A and B are shown apart, each in its own frame.
Chain A
Amino acid sequence: MGNSLFVSALKSRSPRVRASLCVMGLGQLLSRQWVKGLAYLSALAAFVAYMALTGARDIVGFFTLGTVEADPWLGVAGDDSIIMLLRGLLCYVIILAVVALYRSNLRDIMEIEHNGAWGGNAPGFISSVKGYMDRKFYIVALALPVAGVLVFNVIPIVFMILISFTNYGGDIVPPKLVDWTGFDSFRRVLSLSGIKETFFRILGWNVVWALLSTAINYFGGLALALLLNKKCVKRKKFWRMFPILAYAVPGFITLLAFKFLFSYGGPINHYITEAGHSAVGFLDIDAGIKARIIGLGVNAWISIPTSMLLATGILSNMNMNLYEAASIDGAGPWQQFKKITLPFVVFSTTPVLITNFIGNFNNFGIFYFLRGGLYMDGYFLASDTDLLINWLYNLSIDNNYYSIGAAVSLIIFIITSAVSLSVYIRSNAYRKEDTFR
């Protein structure tokens, strides 16, 4: 399908189509569509100028990653491999954008040709604009968001993926030159003894953590919403205020506060020692399961308010007749919850559940703030509460092993995205999309 446009343009005998095939916008100009033609033409001119000025050099730089090492002492600017990698990537994106523009130019000229063949006039600029306000509105509406996501989300991700195929990191940081090394980083992640064990050990805990915390937050929020929904509870708004308070304090402040609360010098231990017991190391090296439980609890404290709001909203949409019917049939509260509430709520929140699961899987803040700065026996640069993302941070930011960090994150990324994508595609919420209106 991709090339059919190009092929049919080639086959066309129309001079206008051929003109646009050679020079973007020329055919439109020949059809007296001045504004559109000039727009295409100037885009082409800008692109050619860009390629001549820096684009071509950037593409070459992308492959060499620099040939001249900088020497700041001598004031030799040299090549910054990482910037070159990024500029090369930017150049590819620009080329892709121009190709897309070129295809739209072809499609446009064929359309004009087609209409012309039926005796119609080529639409003027105004009516073209009208087309974009109506039939093609989605293109206009999505152009900006897609461009933004492309530049600030997709490019960084592709960049990191590319980094995993280089030797960037450790001693090799600018001004030293970085090189492409293929799958070397992946081989090292999987072959070095300490790293592999640490990876699987952390992965295991990471999965448990993600499942548990998602479940706790989800059902905690649901329970709280059900509680507030009870008929006997008056002044619901008042009661709801407290979780919202918790929600309003910025996350990192909450985490620092909890770290202090549970530290040896914190108030909790103050009262424990005051009562004559010895202080408890909630988060120190021996803490193990205690620290994990505190992590789950703190995460619940931060996340339950949101899921409570969600559950409240969903419950308010429920058909109350079902309950009446159920209680006439003699179903108890538990039966009602299991047979009516739960299926309804879970059914309508699968996408949110998946998002929460991913969020928890990649929850960096909790253990970074609560229990950072520990390297334990049996772990390579990590502790027993660290999640993969914390380990990644230790590897790539704290210890500068960017390419290794990128390789690990790519592996994690492949696992998580495969799992959640398949769950998402099977979910009711997504499948209903197929019968979309």
Chain B
Amino acid sequence: MKWRKHLDWLLTHLTLVIVCFIFFFPVLWLTLASFSATGSIYDLGGFFPKSFSLAGFRKLFGDTTMYDYPNWLKNTLFVAVGSSVLGTILVILTAYTISRFQFKARKTLMKSTLVLSMFPSFMGMTAVYLLMVNFGLINRLWALILIYASGAPMGYLVQKGYFDSLSSSVFEAARLDGASSFRVFRSIALPLSKPIIVYTALTQFAWPWSDFILPNLLLKNKDKWTVAVGLMHLDETQFTRFAAGSIFIAVPIVILYFCLSGFLVTGVTAGAAKE
């Protein structure tokens, strides 16, 4: 019996090591490449650079005449934080309402969001561009926030699942005490939904943080670019700079996810209906 347990332990950990290696390796490769001294990808000769230096990062933040990374970072941060705040409010409101209220259009809303989400999104990009032209919102960062936040309620299912799972007795008690729906939402639902709010804010932050299609469409001037747009426009010989820039924008996400991984698990799980 004992050797079987040992074997099990060994096999489990062996698989784990292999799987984690598969996930880790490309990230490690990119990270080390960003420290390459020569700045080129073809000097590596295999996976890893022969000599290391901080030149890639120094160039990223120092040499800004052509590629103004610090400025891109600032723009990205503004868009991501803005979208995160506004988007979270909208998603939470939508999910809570659809979960807690019975009204005529409810089922129609649920079905139509499902159908809408199936439309290939870039086919609507021409229209989004023209809409923004029509409203004079090209080259404006907050216009991006508007679009990201407006699209956010489409993904309300996860949050709705969370609200579904909250025991309804608390809410009913409050209602019996004569609290209005708004009060119930503000003083009971919101405090209870901290994990799902954190989860939503995170996902709403991460998407604009790394999206490049929309900003590429709407931001014409280089000083308005976000990091993703800028990186895509980097000359292909600037590999170390590209790797450095990529690693640098991945870091905040890793830290956020790592600190909040507990919330994350709660959040993702909520999308599934409880037994």
Q: Is B264 an interface residue (CB 8 A)?
A: yes
For B117, list chain A residues within 8 Å (CB): 355, 358
Contact call B210/A396, Cβ cutoff below 8 A: no
A127-153 to B contact mask, C-beta < 8 Å, 1/0: 000100111011011101110110111
Contact call B269/A313, Cβ cutoff below 8 A: yes
For A312, list chain B residues within 8 Å (CB): 265, 269
Contact call B153/A257, Cβ cutoff below 8 A: no
For A138, list chain B residues within 8 Å (CB): 97, 101, 103, 181
Q: Is B268 an interface residue (CB 8 A)?
A: yes
- The distance in angstroms between the C-alpha atoms of A195 and B78, with both chains bound, is 44
- The distance in angstroms between the C-alpha atoms of A358 and B231, with both chains bound, is 28
Q: Is A249 an interface residue (CB 8 A)?
A: yes
Q: Is A99 an interface residue (CB 8 A)?
A: no
Q: Is B126 an interface residue (CB 8 A)?
A: yes
Q: Which residue of A lies closest to B256 (CB)?
A: A248
Q: Is B190 an interface residue (CB 8 A)?
A: no
- Tell which of B103, B157, B232, B258 touches A241, judged by Cβ atoms closer than 8 Å: B258
B217-273 CB contacts (< 8 Å) to partner A:
228, 231-232, 246, 249-251, 253-254, 257-258, 261, 264-273
- Tell which of B20, B181, B267 touches A137, judged by Cβ atoms closer than 8 Å: B181
- The distance in angstroms between the C-alpha atoms of A358 and B146, with both chains bound, is 25
- The distance in angstroms between the C-alpha atoms of A429 and B262, with both chains bound, is 25
Q: Is A6 an interface residue (CB 8 A)?
A: no
A403-437 CB contacts (< 8 Å) to partner B:
405-406, 409, 412-413, 416-417, 420-421, 424-425, 428-429, 432-433, 436-437
Contact call A358/B150, Cβ cutoff below 8 A: no
Q: Which residue of A lies closest to B269 (CB)?
A: A313
For A306, list chain B residues within 8 Å (CB): 268
**Given A233-B16, A261-B26, CB of A86 within 8 Å of CB of B127:** yes
B37-90 CB contacts (< 8 Å) to partner A:
41-42, 44-47, 90
Q: Is B191 an interface residue (CB 8 A)?
A: no
- The distance in angstroms between the C-alpha atoms of A313 and B122, with both chains bound, is 32
For A417, list chain B residues within 8 Å (CB): 114-115, 118
Q: Which of B93, B120, B250 has the most chain A CB within a 10 Å cutoff?
A: B120
Q: Is B177 an interface residue (CB 8 A)?
A: no
Contact call B8/A232, Cβ cutoff below 8 A: yes
Q: Which residue of B lies closest to A270 (CB)?
A: B46
For A429, list chain B residues within 8 Å (CB): 272-273
Contact call B130/A86, Cβ cutoff below 8 A: yes
**Given A159-B124, A224-B19, CB of A149 within 8 Å of CB of B116:** yes
B133-181 CB contacts (< 8 Å) to partner A:
133-134, 146-147, 149-151, 153-154, 157, 161, 168, 180-181
Q: Which of B123, B134, B266 has the most chain A CB within a 10 Å cutoff?
A: B123
For A389, list chain B residues within 8 Å (CB): 120, 122
- The distance in angstroms between the C-alpha atoms of A243 and B26, with both chains bound, is 11
Contact call B258/A310, Cβ cutoff below 8 A: no
A201: shortest Cβ distance to chain B, in Å? 19
- Tell which of A87, A149, A247 touches B257, judged by Cβ atoms closer than 8 Å: A247
A344: shortest Cβ distance to chain B, in Å? 7
- Tell which of B23, B93, B232 touches A305, judged by Cβ atoms closer than 8 Å: B23
Q: Which residue of A lies closest to B267 (CB)?
A: A313
A181-201 CB contacts (< 8 Å) to partner B:
none
- Tell which of A232, A254, A355 touches B9, judged by Cβ atoms closer than 8 Å: A232
Q: Which residue of A lies closest to B106 (CB)?
A: A138
Contact call B210/A310, Cβ cutoff below 8 A: no
- The distance in angstroms between the C-alpha atoms of A265 and B150, with both chains bound, is 43
- The distance in angstroms between the C-alpha atoms of A144 and B154, with both chains bound, is 13
For B13, list chain A residues within 8 Å (CB): 233
Q: Is B119 an interface residue (CB 8 A)?
A: yes
A364: shortest Cβ distance to chain B, in Å? 7
Contact call A160/B123, Cβ cutoff below 8 A: yes
Tell which of A31-39, A63-71, A345-353 binds the partner. A345-353
B96-128 CB contacts (< 8 Å) to partner A:
96-97, 101-103, 107, 109-111, 113-128
Contact call B271/A310, Cβ cutoff below 8 A: yes
Contact call B150/A151, Cβ cutoff below 8 A: yes
For A250, list chain B residues within 8 Å (CB): 209-210, 228, 246, 249-250
**Given A156-B128, A159-B127, A267-B47, CB of A349 within 8 Å of CB of B272:** yes
For A149, list chain B residues within 8 Å (CB): 113, 116, 150-151, 153-154
Q: Which residue of B lies closest to A305 (CB)?
A: B23
- The distance in angstroms between the C-alpha atoms of A130 and B180, with both chains bound, is 8
Q: Is B192 an interface residue (CB 8 A)?
A: no
Q: Is A98 an interface residue (CB 8 A)?
A: no
Contact call A301/B22, Cβ cutoff below 8 A: yes
Q: Is A13 an interface residue (CB 8 A)?
A: no
Q: Is A342 an interface residue (CB 8 A)?
A: no
Contact call A155/B12, Cβ cutoff below 8 A: no
Q: Is A392 an interface residue (CB 8 A)?
A: yes
- The distance in angstroms between the C-alpha atoms of A242 and B20, with both chains bound, is 6
Contact call A248/B250, Cβ cutoff below 8 A: yes
Ranked 10 nearest A-B pairs via Cβ = A313-B269, A156-B124, A148-B150, A250-B210, A137-B181, A156-B127, A134-B180, A159-B127, A242-B20, A348-B272
B-binding residues in A (CB < 8 A): 82-83, 86-87, 90, 130, 133-135, 137-138, 140-142, 144-146, 148-149, 151-157, 159-160, 163, 224, 227-228, 230, 232-233, 237, 239-254, 257-258, 260-261, 265, 267, 270-271, 274, 301, 305-306, 309-310, 312-314, 316-317, 344, 347-349, 351-352, 354-355, 358, 362, 364, 389, 392-393, 396-397, 402, 405-406, 409, 412-413, 416-417, 420-421, 424-425, 428-429, 432-433, 436-437
Contacts beyond the supplied A240-B261, A313-B270: 5 A-B pairs with Cβ under 8 Å: A157-B116, A250-B228, A355-B117, A358-B117, A393-B122
Q: List 30 A-B contacts (CB under 8 A).
A: A86-B127, A86-B131, A133-B183, A137-B181, A141-B93, A146-B109, A148-B90, A149-B116, A152-B147, A159-B126, A228-B16, A244-B257, A245-B24, A246-B23, A246-B26, A248-B253, A249-B27, A252-B212, A253-B30, A253-B231, A267-B44, A274-B46, A309-B264, A348-B273, A348-B275, A364-B122, A416-B118, A420-B118, A424-B114, A432-B273
